[in-house]
Amino acid sequence: MKILALAAATIMVAPSAAFALPYPILPYPTVSRDRAGGLRCLMERSNGEILDLSSLCNSTPRTTTLPAARSTANIATRPLAGTTCEDFDHQLEALYHFNLGTAPRSMDGDSDGIPCEMLSQVEREGGDRIWSSTFTNGNFTELIRDAGRTDVFYYLRVRAGNLGTFTTRLFSDDARARAHASCYYSEDLQDCSGL
């Protein structure tokens, strides 16, 4: 076996002409071609032992599609949208926040992954749409102003991915409803201070 010194790295040349680089902190396999044209993969352990990983290098790679990861930085900084089922108007609204991490796990009393099963799945109706937005994550949100009672109130109609459409709790003014939409239904963390 020959040892060559090149610019602070030691390269060991094995008789089969495969190369291995010793890395004391993080060992990486070194790949080369053997005489038959196959891949030769060697890695040196910290104790000096050389591992032959050629079977891994010559295996057929598999492709796996992973689901898109949610940004935990944004989720962790969003306040809870509610702490009990009574804070939500619609079962899908509770499920949306449960999945987003902005509702506590305690809302799923039977631990089947579906919180607040006793809430309605019937959407609110009535009122006039005064604002709508399609966020970059595909959530479509409408702000509805309803003056059907003695007081004027606002609510959101949300179409959220494969969950479907649901309506939210009531808001006392449109600014609070818009802040709620921006904070919870947009992809990027928006200003949640107006909640």
Q: Name the percent of the chain lying above pLDDT 70.
A: 66
Per the structure block, which two tokens stand in for 73? 């930085």
The pLDDT mean for the chain works out to 76
pLDDT, residue 162, reads 80
Has residue 8 got a pLDDT over 60? Answer: no
Least confident of 35-49, 105-119, 180-194: 35-49
pLDDT, residue 137, reads 82
Has residue 14 got a pLDDT over 60? Answer: no
Task: Read off the pTM.
Answer: 0.59
Has residue 181 got a pLDDT over 50? Answer: yes
For 13, the 3-state DSSP assignment is strand
Angle (nearest 5°) at CA 174 between 169 and 180: 55
- What integer is the mean pLDDT of 34-44? 72
Task: Using CA atoms of 187, 189, 194, 195 in order, give the dihedral in degrees to the nearest 10.
Answer: 70
Has residue 28 got a pLDDT over 50? Answer: yes
Judge contact between 186 and 139, C-beta under 8 A.
yes
For 87, the 3-state DSSP assignment is helix
- What integer is the mean pLDDT of 72-95? 82
Instruction: Tokens 């009990």: give the residue.
Output: 84
Strands 2-6 and 9-13, how do they pair?
Answer: antiparallel
Q: Name the percent of the chain lying above pLDDT 90.
A: 37
Judge contact between 123 and 157, C-beta under 8 A.
yes
